[in-house]
Chains A and B, each alone.
Chain A
Amino acid sequence: MTVFEQTDSFDRKSDYPISELDLLVKSNEPVNHEYRQLILAAPADLLDRCRAGQFFHLLCPQTADHRPFLRRPMSIYGFYPQSGELHFLFKVTGTGTRALATLQPGDRLSVAGPLGKPFEIEDSWQHLVLVARGVGLATLAPLALEAHRLDRKLTAICSARHRDYLLSIDYFKDLGADVIAITDAEGTSDVDHLERLLEDLVQQGKADVFYTCGSNRILTLLKKIGKRHSIPGQIALEQQMACGLGMCHCCVRPFEQNGQIVNLRVCREGPVFDLQAALAW
């Protein structure tokens, strides 16, 4: 098998689809022990360019305790041109996100974006199935809004360690989605149970496409079911980034394309990829 890295080519641009902007923090509230929701005031022309599945690269602030150097990639959790708001949902894990957690209303945050390839919803995909775990919900939430706008049926299977960590359930419900919550604590999140749930949806004709993000177990399962029933799928993946634009090639992951293993840039060819091309890690 040959291994190579792929890039694409462009025409000269006269308008600039990607912006670097200092935005005002409107709020930055905890939603539970681990997660916070960050709301920024953003100009409409920026929000008009946002699509579900895309991300921004955030220059986290320097604080007395935390000095992140590189930007941090963060999915668009919500974008609302009418109210002029850009939302992020983030898990506080290390240096960058701890620094991000210190932002107060009135502070400014430098964002670069919108970046990357969004989710696609083809015309023939009437019944969408979304399987999300943990902070993956942040990435998939705007897809639910888009499905609602396009008048598609949506089933959201939300997985978490415990009910307390199930995010966005009400958000999905409000958008008219069928929500199925599964948790480790209740013993409902294991692969066998998830497989039965998904097979049921397939039998009922309620699965034209699968959407998911970043869990190895879920990826492997969805690939198997997708192959079995010829159901397409898309997955949003993560990788450490430096430039976020496609310049540095640090964010590559291996994918299978036409029988070859190719390294693709998560920031540029992704973060949304074809489910069957994605490789478990």
Chain B
Amino acid sequence: MVDLSVDIGGLKLINPIMPASGTFSEELAEVFDLERLGAHVTKTITRDWRNGNPTPRVCEISGSMLNSIGIPSKGIQAFLENTIPFYRQYAAPLVVSISGNTADEFAALCADISVDGVDAIEVNISCPNIEEDGKAYAIRPSTTYEVMRKLRKATDLPLWAKLTPNTGETPEVARAAEEGGADALVVANTILSMAIDIDSRKPRLGNLMGGLSGPCLKPISLRMAYQCAKATNIPVIGCGGVSTAEDVIEYLIAGASAVQVGTASFLNPTAMIRIVDELVAWMVRNDVSSMDELIGSINDGEQSEGLVFMESAP
């Protein structure tokens, strides 16, 4: 028997596979039984209605995609009335992703969303912070620490901080999130990117720039997950380019305790349950019986901190 269960800061998951925020919704229940997932993670919401960005909101590039969806949000009221009750029918933990334009607004939403039926809050601190010229909170250790402190005070639920690859200070930001009170780190969001149509010379996204996701992102997120696991003592959830069980195992070996699957679900709506099945088969084949045997099992020798926390390519 293989045991796929993992523990994310006290929250028990039946397996380490869960969706990434913004790439999952109630509609997927029309394709397979959502109970088979380790957790359910909802699209980032804000307190008020938001419209999202102009179309085109996605474009494909070789082997991956860019998106500039923005955060179209129904607002907190609709979320409390419709979304939370929907997920209550499942035993899988519900992780709600939120964001806010200012640290105080963010914290107020965090308090208001800490209701029955919610098992953890994923704070999307990779979104723009208006008080810092629109730079994401998680670009700098100082803004990360400040916003996490306020969020920590606002809720007793487990807090997962979603980091951004658009920083040059990954280990410092990870430590700042931990010190600010994060129970886990989600590593990571999309990386700021661009594509141009050479015939029209127009940007291929309505919003000019967008976030890169999918297979091309994986080496970057994997490197960050590794650094975050080394830099902190809280669980890391890998996110970026996962589409096979091998990808999951790679993240676990790097130090992640679970993974989120995003873009892969667009290509194959059943990707997440296929990955769970593949993971079981891989464990049986390789005589691995629990996730603990994999998590952080990387053979990286006695590398110096200078090398592990490097922020530039050699």
Which residues of A does B touch, CB under 8 Å?
A: 2-7, 9-10, 12-13, 16-20, 59, 67-71, 110, 112, 239-240, 242-250, 252-253, 263, 268
Contact = CB atoms under 8 A, between A and B. Distances in A.
B164 to A, nearest CB: 19
B72 A70 contact: no
Contacts of B57: 240, 249-250, 252
A62 to B, nearest CB: 10
Contact of A243 (B55, B82, B266): B266
B31 A16 contact: yes
A263 B268 CA distance: 25
B49 A268 contact: no
Contact of B29 (A4, A10, A249): A10
Given A70-B60, A244-B266, 8 more contacts: A12-B86, A70-B65, A71-B266, A245-B25, A246-B27, A249-B52, A249-B57, A250-B67
A16 B25 contact: no
Contacts of B61: 69
B49 A4 contact: yes
B49 A110 contact: no
Contacts of B313: none
A268 B27 CA distance: 9
A5 B43 CA distance: 13
B67 A70 contact: no
B269 interface: yes
Given A247-B23, A249-B72, A70 B58 contact: yes
A68 B31 CA distance: 23
Interface string B41-72: 00100000111100111101111110101001
A245 B49 contact: no
A4 B31 contact: no
Contacts of B65: 69-70, 242
A100 B32 CA distance: 27
A110 B86 contact: no
Contacts of B29: 10, 12-13
Main secondary structure of the interface of A (DSSP, over half): loop
B69 A249 contact: yes
Contacts of B49: 2, 4
B269 A248 contact: no
Contacts of A252: 52, 55, 57, 72
Contacts of A110: 268
Interface in B1-49: 22-32, 43, 49
Contact of A69 (B56, B60, B74, B86): B60
A4 B74 contact: yes
Interface of B: 22-32, 43, 49-52, 55-58, 60-65, 67, 69, 72, 74, 82-83, 86, 89-90, 214, 265-270
A273 B6 CA distance: 45
B67 A67 contact: no
A6 B214 CA distance: 27
Contacts of A19: 31
Contacts of B23: 243, 247-248
Contact of A247 (B27, B58, B60): B27
Given A9-B26, A112-B269, A250 B55 contact: yes
B77 to A, nearest CB: 12
B86 A16 contact: no
Considering residues A5, A17, A59, A69, which has the most beta carbons from chain B within 10 angstroms of its beta carbon?
A: A69
A250 B64 CA distance: 16
Nearest to A5: B72
Contacts of A253: 55
A43 B61 CA distance: 34
B314 to A, nearest CB: 30
Contacts of B270: 20
| 8 smallest beta-carbon distances between A and B, as pairs | A69-B60, A246-B27, A250-B57, A9-B82, A5-B72, A250-B58, A247-B25, A4-B49
A246 B72 contact: no
B51 A5 contact: yes
A10 B26 contact: yes
Contacts of A70: 58, 60, 65, 266-267
Given A4-B49, A59-B267, A70-B58, A245 B22 contact: no
Given A110-B268, A248-B22, A9 B58 contact: no
Contacts of A244: 266
A16 B55 contact: no
A20 B269 contact: yes
Given A16-B31, A18-B30, A242-B58, A71 B86 contact: no
B41 to A, nearest CB: 12
A209 B32 CA distance: 37
Nearest to B67: A250
B26 A69 contact: no
Given A9-B82, A248-B23, A252-B52, A16 B32 contact: yes
A239 B55 contact: yes
Given A68-B60, A69-B64, A263 B51 contact: yes
Contact of B265 (A6, A16, A243, A263): A243
